[in-house]
Structure 1
């Protein structure tokens, strides 16, 4: 078991400005929570907190909302979404006519909100509009 004693001096600058800087206990303690997506029981362990707040410099008030499995799925979706966004930025003219790409990206974008309700992106509407235009252009050619 690792040492879970709090070293406030290793917190981020913004965490050190928080009032908890003065009143936090001496050690981290496991925090039990329910996953916001699948409702399974999960634990934000004292060791994970030490790593998050002192090594990664996450803000001290940041709390886990997803269990490890749901969090991993969200990260996979976000990675795929960023890859689509990157491709879109560099190949927009070609991809705006690629129904498969747009449907795949739209599926990814629609899969994210159950994991991250705060996720907002205007692309679903744009992709839906472009897909409708492709469909109507295809119907006009028949």
Structure 2
């Protein structure tokens, strides 16, 4: 249960693998009960929710950057800067680091302020959307787990 709660919290705290913690909680409970609870259908559904949450965690920012027109190089650099800024400004640092990096690098490469702003906005929205998706999915895992056991 503690891992499921940590998964929900970890979904909003950058750097913590919220969905992975939730999956570990479900699978750990299943193992501790001798593979009897939750049942196979509930287990599969809960693990699937966790895997979708992991995909949202890993893919939201790169897909948002690409949708906004950012290059692959810009996307990769923004991910590294966002991670580093987490330790400087906390969760706000991720947004500032990713959005600012996408804007600065795209502006340097293209010279187009509007296109750079669109790419930065799309990337920032995707990061926030990915976090929201993780909260919803890990919350659904917690509720589903409580209903299943």
Please report the TM-score for the alignment, with normalisation by the length of structure 2.
0.30
Name the structure, 1 or 2, with higher relative contact order (CA <8 Å, separation 6+).
2
Which protein has the larger Cα radius of gyration, Structure 1 or Structure 2?
1
Please report the TM-score for the alignment, with normalisation by the length of structure 1.
0.31
Q: Indicate the structure with greater strand content.
A: 1
Q: Indicate the structure with greater helix content.
A: 2
